[in-house]
């Protein structure tokens, strides 16, 4: 990155900003400032538009048409109006349904006939009472008929001349319409609701693109306002100083464009004190894992980007934790199908899922499990189908081997992190600052393994001890006596002793932390096997019913196991990366992303 400082006459400031935005290269240093009321309103509108995009996406089919309304504001208002109509119509239908339910016990009647009887001088009453309160004497006051009874409630109709029938145990209900009236009303409202929903469905075929353009426009306006306010006014506000960063690779094109506009500027190399933005440069494979690294923080501008270094480990650890070829195959097929349907911006995440699924499949094959079933075993008898399957399982799926493998992988990643720390120290501060770290690497990567292999009889004991002593001495000299270049030897020795305590306690804990890979993989396989056993043991002996119950238990059990295993397989490798690996690699982080000022 190169630091750019522009000196602009205040009268030309707006035009210069527009030209810089069109170039789309300069990352302007924007200070912390309070958002204006106008920008707060724009942010609120952006959030509202994003909600509308999600709503339209939920309605959209694969079909796509040219926008019938191309103005974002007009389209937003149209969608809001239609949504309001949907709300009103839904409420009307709900109210009509309730009124219909209230008159259903009275059956079908003609309100005009009822009105005709009333005009003839009779009282027509709709009454409700509890059956335990029924009184035969009511028949002396009116012609009363039982229309319906639901539970203990009696629905009565009374016709009388003179005084109306009244009693504390009788509740009179005013009925203006029969159920058929409300049914017609509901059907009409439902037709209107269907028409409005059809309009929304049609809009959804093009709305996302128009609304996203509007969101981008609003975000561009907010960004422009931030950049505009970031200029420092000098010389009695006659001049404005604008500071930013550009990639070193595009410097010539950028300065050429500034020269054409006769702008006054300076280009400087960054100093250690500068807080320049970060633009990651990774291979296509490593780029897939950048989203994982950003969950923690970006590297600062002085240190290595660790994304390409943790990516293979993360992929391997995910497969180790999930560790079932069947589950891995499901993820691979699911992500491949998703790649044929997803939007371009989602595809990198699907490719990431594909590689994680591939790793899971490979680890499942090495571990010998497929949906909780051991390779080569008969699902009913539990016996091996072929003898070589048993040999394969004994060799690969030995739990002791898995546990050792998880610790060895952890040891390798920790040592790898230490090597990266030495490289980073040499890059940033000079080689002499990495010498002590190299000493620790010699001790951890050579002396300790040599002693361990010798004590376990894997190599000659004497040879192992000799290598351990020689490597230990070679490593200990710089680690204890040259860990703070430029300081006196006593200070170096004291610091070295403190580092030794930290290394002894931290290294053991870091490596042991990787045993979680073994534990998660084992628990996933055991749970899958348990659900298989439950499906076999709990299913009844009836032919068709047995298969149905087995399918239900297997579907539920493996779905639950897969969900829990996926969660653990994502989170725990994340912890190993951000805690154990980053710590040993001396990762500091705290960088901020390179975001050029542009009109996108």
Q: What are phi and psi of 544, to 5 degrees?
A: -70, -45
For residue 161, give every residue at least 6 positions away whose Cβ sits within 8 Å of its Cβ, in sequence order, or none.
Answer: 121, 122, 123
Between residues 235 and 198, the one the model is more confident about: 198
Please give the average per-residue pLDDT across 211-232, as a whole number.
Answer: 90
Please give the average per-residue pLDDT across 162-170, as a whole number.
Answer: 90
For residue 134, give every residue at least 6 positions away whose Cβ sits within 8 Å of its Cβ, in sequence order, or none.
Answer: 154
Q: What is the DSSP string of 158-210?
A: EEESSSPP--TT-EEE---S-HHHHHHHHHHHHHHHHHHHHHHHHHHHHHHHH
Between residues 398 and 168, the one the model is more confident about: 168
**CB-CB contact of 306 with 587 (8 Å):** yes
pLDDT band at 36 (very low <50, low <70, confident <90, very high): confident
Burial of 225 (0-12, 13-18, 19+ CB in 10 A): middle
Write down the pLDDT at residue 26. Answer: 92
Write down the pLDDT at residue 547. Answer: 86
How does pLDDT run across 78-124, given as a tens digit for each residue? 999 999 999 999 999 999 999 999 899 988 888 889 999 999 999 99
The first and second tokens of residue 52, run together, are: 């509308």
* pLDDT for residue 340 is more than 70: yes
- Please enumerate, as own/partner, the contacts of 57-66 that have beta carbons within 8 Å and a separation of 24 or more: 57/204, 57/208, 59/200, 59/201, 59/204, 60/204, 60/205, 60/208, 61/205, 62/341, 63/205, 64/205, 64/206, 65/202, 65/205, 65/206, 66/206
Please give the average per-residue pLDDT across 340-369, as a whole number.
Answer: 90
The first and second tokens of residue 375, run together, are: 């390779």
Report the percent of the chain where pLDDT is more than 70. Answer: 96
CA–CA separation, 57 vs 558, rounded Å?
Answer: 30
* pLDDT for residue 363 is more than 70: yes
Q: What's the pTM?
A: 0.74
**CB-CB contact of 210 with 67 (8 Å):** yes
CA-nearest of 367, 386, 296 to 524 is 367
Instruction: Give the Å distances, CA to CA, from 31 to 13, 244, 349, 408.
Output: 18, 11, 32, 47
Between residues 209 and 272, the one the model is more confident about: 209
* pLDDT for residue 272 is more than 90: no
Write down the pLDDT at residue 397. Answer: 60
CA–CA separation, 449 vs 434, rounded Å?
Answer: 22
pLDDT band at 357 (very low <50, low <70, confident <90, very high): very high
Write down the pLDDT at residue 493. Answer: 87
Count of other CB atoms within 10 angstroms of residue 325: 22
How does pLDDT run across 55-70, given as a tens digit for each residue? 998 988 878 888 889 8
Per the document, the length of the chain is 600
pLDDT band at 379 (very low <50, low <70, confident <90, very high): low
- C-alpha 407, offset from chain centre: 30
Burial of 381 (0-12, 13-18, 19+ CB in 10 A): exposed
Give 130's strand partners. Answer: 153
Write down the pLDDT at residue 600. Answer: 66
Write down the pLDDT at residue 202. Answer: 93
Cα angle 361, 366, 371; round to 5: 50
Write down the pLDDT at residue 249. Answer: 85
The first and second tokens of residue 340, run together, are: 């044929």
Write down the pLDDT at residue 44. Answer: 94
Helix (H, G, I), strand (E, B) or coil at 411: helix
Write down the pLDDT at residue 385. Answer: 65
**CB-CB contact of 323 with 363 (8 Å):** yes
How does pLDDT run across 450-497, given as a tens digit for each residue? 999 988 888 889 999 999 999 999 999 998 888 888 888 888 888 888
CA–CA separation, 80 vs 84, rounded Å?
Answer: 6
CA–CA separation, 186 vs 129, rounded Å?
Answer: 29
Helix (H, G, I), strand (E, B) or coil at 255: helix
CA–CA separation, 429 vs 451, rounded Å?
Answer: 33
**CB-CB contact of 222 with 36 (8 Å):** no
**CB-CB contact of 142 with 160 (8 Å):** yes
- C-alpha 528, offset from chain centre: 26
Mean pLDDT value across the chain = 89
CA–CA separation, 436 vs 433, rounded Å?
Answer: 7
Helices of type H across 231-346: 251-260, 284-287, 290-294, 307-322, 325-339
* pLDDT for residue 559 is more than 90: yes
The first and second tokens of residue 206, run together, are: 């093009």
How does pLDDT run across 290-315, given as a tens digit for each residue? 999 999 999 988 889 999 999 999 99
Expressed in angstroms, the distance from the first to the final Cα of the chain is 22
Kindly give the interhelix angle for 489-513 and 461-481, rounded to the nearest 10 degrees.
130
CA–CA separation, 420 vs 584, rounded Å?
Answer: 9
* pLDDT for residue 326 is more than 90: yes
* pLDDT for residue 381 is more than 70: no
CA–CA separation, 45 vs 130, rounded Å?
Answer: 56
Q: What are phi and psi of 71, to 5 degrees?
A: -85, 125
* pLDDT for residue 134 is more than 80: yes
Write down the pLDDT at residue 92. Answer: 96
Cα dihedral 75, 76, 77, 78 in deg (nearest 10): 50
Helix (H, G, I), strand (E, B) or coil at 40: helix
Instruction: Give the Å distances, CA to CA, from 322 to 263, 311, 329, 338, 357.
Output: 58, 17, 12, 21, 9
CA–CA separation, 371 vs 84, rounded Å?
Answer: 49
Give 369's strand partners. Answer: 374
How does pLDDT run across 237-256, given as a tens digit for each residue? 889 999 999 998 888 888 89
Write down the pLDDT at residue 581. Answer: 95
């Amino acid at each position: 990155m190169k630091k750019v400082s522009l000196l602009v006459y205040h009268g030309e400031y707006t035009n210069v900003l527009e030209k810089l935005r069109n170039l789309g290269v300069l990352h302007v240093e924007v200070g912390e400032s309070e958002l204006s009321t106008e920008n707060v309103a724009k942010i609120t509108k952006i959030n509202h538009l994003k909600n509308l995009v999600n709503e339209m996406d939920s309605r959209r089919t694969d079909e796509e048409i040219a926008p019938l309304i191309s103005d974002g504001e007009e389209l937003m208002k149209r969608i809001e109006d239609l949504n309001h109509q949907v709300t009103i119509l839904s409420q009307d239908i709900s109210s009509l349904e309730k009124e219909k339910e209230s008159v259903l016990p009275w059956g079908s009647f003609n309100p005009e006939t009822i009105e005709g009887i009333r005009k003839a001088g009779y009282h027509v009453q709709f009454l409700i009472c509890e059956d335990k309160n029924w009184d035969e004497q009511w028949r002396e006051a009116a012609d009363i008929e039982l229309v319906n009874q639901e539970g203990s409630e009696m629905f009565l109709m009374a016709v009388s001349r003179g005084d109306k029938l009244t009693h504390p145990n009788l509740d009179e209900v005013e009925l203006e319409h029969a159920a058929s009236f409300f049914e017609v009303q509901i059907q009409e409202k439902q037709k209107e609701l269907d028409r409005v929903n059809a309009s929304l469905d049609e809009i959804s075929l093009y709305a996302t693109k128009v609304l996203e353009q509007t969101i981008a426009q609003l975000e561009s306006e907010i960004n422009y306002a931030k950049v505009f306010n970031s200029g420092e006014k000098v010389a009695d506000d006659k001049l404005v100083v604008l500071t930013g960063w550009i990639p070193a690779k595009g410097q010539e094109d950028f300065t050429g464009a500034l020269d054409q506009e006769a702008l006054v500027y300076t280009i400087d190399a960054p100093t250690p004190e500068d807080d320049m933005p970060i633009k990651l440069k990774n291979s296509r494979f490593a780029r897939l894992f950048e989203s994982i690294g950003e969950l923690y923080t970006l590297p600062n501008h002085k240190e290595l980007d660790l994304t390409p270094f943790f990516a293979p480990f993360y992929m391997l650890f995910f497969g180790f934790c999930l560790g079932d070829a069947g589950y891995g195959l499901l993820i691979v097929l699911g992500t491949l199908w998703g790649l044929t349907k997803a939007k371009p911006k989602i595809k990198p995440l699907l490719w990431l899922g594909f590689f994680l699924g591939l790793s899971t499949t490979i680890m499942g094959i090495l571990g010998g499990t497929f949906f909780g079933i051991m390779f080569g075993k008969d699902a009913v008898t539990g016996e091996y189908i072929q003898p070589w399957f048993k040999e394969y399982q004994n060799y690969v799926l030995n739990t002791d081997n898995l546990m050792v493998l998880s610790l060895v992988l952890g040891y390798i990643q920790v040592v790898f992190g230490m090597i990266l720390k030495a490289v980073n120290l040499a890059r940033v501060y000079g080689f002499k600052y990495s010498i002590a770290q190299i000493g620790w690497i010699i001790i951890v990567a050579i002396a300790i393994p040599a002693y361990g292999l010798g004590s376990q009889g894997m190599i000659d004991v004497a040879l192992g001890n000799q290598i351990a002593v020689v490597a230990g001495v070679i490593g200990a000299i710089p680690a204890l006596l040259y860990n703070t270049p430029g300081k006196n030897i006593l200070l170096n020795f004291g610091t070295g002793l403190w580092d030794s305590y930290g290394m002894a306690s931290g290294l053991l804990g870091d490596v042991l932390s990787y045993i979680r890979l073994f534990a998660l993989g084992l628990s996933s396989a055991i749970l899958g096997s348990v659900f298989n056993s439950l499906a076999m043991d709990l299913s009844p002996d009836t032919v068709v019913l047995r298969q149905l119950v087995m399918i239900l238990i297997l579907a539920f059990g493996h779905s639950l196991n897969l969900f829990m295993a996926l969660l653990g397989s994502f989170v725990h490798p994340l912890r190993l990366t951000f805690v154990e690996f980053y710590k040993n690699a001396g990762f500091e982080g705290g960088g901020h992303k390179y975001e050029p000022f542009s009109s996108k």
